[in-house]
Amino acid sequence: MLNRSLARFVILALAFTAFGLAGAHAQTHFPKLKSQNSGTTEGLIAVSPVNAKVVWAVGRHGTFLVTTDGGATWRSGQVKDAKWLQLRDVQGVSANVAYVQSIGNEPGNFRIYKTEDGGATWTKQFKNDLAGAFYDCFAFWTPTRGISHSDSVNGVFPDIRSEDGTTWQSIENNMPAALPGEFSFAASGTCVATQGENNAWIATGGAPVARILATTDGADTWNAYDTPLVSSASAGAFTVDFRDAANGIVGGGDLDASDPDNARTASSNDGGQTWTLTTAPPVTGAIFGLSYVRQIGGCGTHGKCSDFTRYVVVTANSGGAAWTPDEGTTWYVLPGVTGCWAVAFATPAAGWLVGTNGQIIKISF
């Protein structure tokens, strides 16, 4: 009798467990992946959706791409006097307007360009003249208000800000003091994240501790907060994103090929002041880019953004890619995805991963 009762208990327990798993599975939106033809073999480094139809991407040899049909077709071009530079970041504003940021081997190769005619012509808005500066990424609050972040020079971050979408001014006196050797990574254009009208966060590494620099007043004042990510001359926080003023996630790791097992993410629920390591994502190396599965411009009357509020996708270049439905507690591998540098979303159903050899993958939840 005891054995029969025990058997019934086990069967009931298994049934409830299966039901719970099935219920959880039913509420999780698993993504679909579809490769798109970029028309280029240049390595792509950053991507910026304007909406579900208009998307910009950039990469090596001054290459830019734009689509106006959700990626069914892509048009590629080259920023004329940046053909020997790498475009490491892009901010799309419309089908005609976009900003790009370049890097190179000389100080003057760090530049910001803007197009207002869909890439037919580009205006150079900024050229770095400071020895030792290395501008990694930029981000915008509005089509005309943005900041660009540089590695530290002699203990100072020579960051710049635009208020009019045309000119850029130094805000180095606003920035917190840099730690010895502190810098950021130009891996996906996401070492800076903006949110709302005035919030921004910058991810750093290179020093004994990986930090987040945070502002709540449009870059007038900043605070620096420690993260638990590994940090060294080849490691740190690479990428950061926030879904609102309080809740965000940071990713990083180590570029040293002999130390590939430090790919980690950490989350914050207090605007970046404190960070807690999540479950380790199933990728290796360093996390180059990450993005919330967001809806640009709000959800509207037909959106179901609440279903995706805590969804995050991460890319780790040769170390693979993964996604989480709960900001890092549970992870799933994106099968067959490798060599991707960056990821960004216009809507949960319209996201893009970009990477080596002109690779573009549309990801839809």
Query: pLDDT tens for residues 2-15?
Result: 333 333 333 333 33
For the chain, the residue count is 365
Q: Which residues of 271-300 are buried (b: 16+ CB within 10 A; e: fewer)?
A: bbeebeebeebbbbbbbbbbbbbbbeeeee
The letter for the amino acid at 142 is T
User: CA–CA separation, 128 vs 130, rounded Å?
Assistant: 6
Reference 288, options 220, 207, 359, 186; nearest CA is 186
Amino acid identity at 16: F
For 156, which DSSP code? B
- Structure letter (DSSP) for residue 280: P
Cα separation of 204 and 184, whole Å? 5
Give me the pLDDT at residue 10, please. 35
Q: Which amino acid is at 156?
A: V
How do residues 153-204 score in pLDDT, each as one tens digit? 999 999 999 999 999 999 999 999 999 999 999 999 999 999 999 999 999 9
Q: What is the mean pLDDT of residues 234-242?
A: 98
Query: For residues 365 and 358, what is the distance between their CA atoms, to the nearest angstrom?
Result: 23
pLDDT at 24 > cutoff 50: no
Provide the pLDDT for residue 105: 87
Contact 252, 203 (CB under 8 A): yes
Q: What pLDDT, in 10s, does the model give residues 98-144? A: 999 999 889 999 999 999 999 999 999 999 999 999 999 999 999 99
- pLDDT(226) > 60: yes
pLDDT band at 239 (very low <50, low <70, confident <90, very high): very high
User: Where do the structural domains in the chain lie, given as residue ranges?
Assistant: 1-30, 32-364
H or E segment at 24? helix 2-26
Whether the pLDDT of residue 22 is over 70: the answer is no
Domain 32-364 bears CATH identifier 2.130.10.10: yes
pLDDT value at residue 15:
34
**Mean predicted confidence (pLDDT) in 37-52:** 98
Give dist(CA 287, CA 263) in Å, integer. Answer: 6
Please check whether residue 333 is in contact with residue 280, taking contact to mean a CB–CB distance below 8 angstroms: no
- pLDDT one-digit tens code per residue, 300-335: 545 577 889 999 999 999 999 999 999 999 999 999
Q: What's the mean pLDDT in 31-37? A: 98
How much is the pLDDT for 297? 81
Query: What percentage of the chain exceeds 70 in pLDDT?
Result: 91
- Neighbouring-strand partners of residue 268: 248
Close Cβ partners of 297 (under 8 Å, ≥ 6 residues apart): 51
Alpha-helical (H) ranges within the chain are 2-26
The reported pLDDT for the residue numbered 1 is: 36
> Which tokens in the block code for residue 131?
């020895």
Which pLDDT does position 305 carry in this prediction?
A: 77
Is the confidence at residue 17, as pLDDT, over 60?
Answer: no
Average pLDDT of the chain, as a whole number: 92
pLDDT at 25 over 70: no
Tokens matching residue 330: 């549970």
- The pLDDT, as a whole number, for residue 68 is 98
Q: Which residues contact 364 (CB under 8 A, 6 or more apart)?
A: 31, 32, 34, 348, 349, 350, 351
pLDDT of 302: 53
CB of 172 closer than 8 Å to CB of 157 = yes
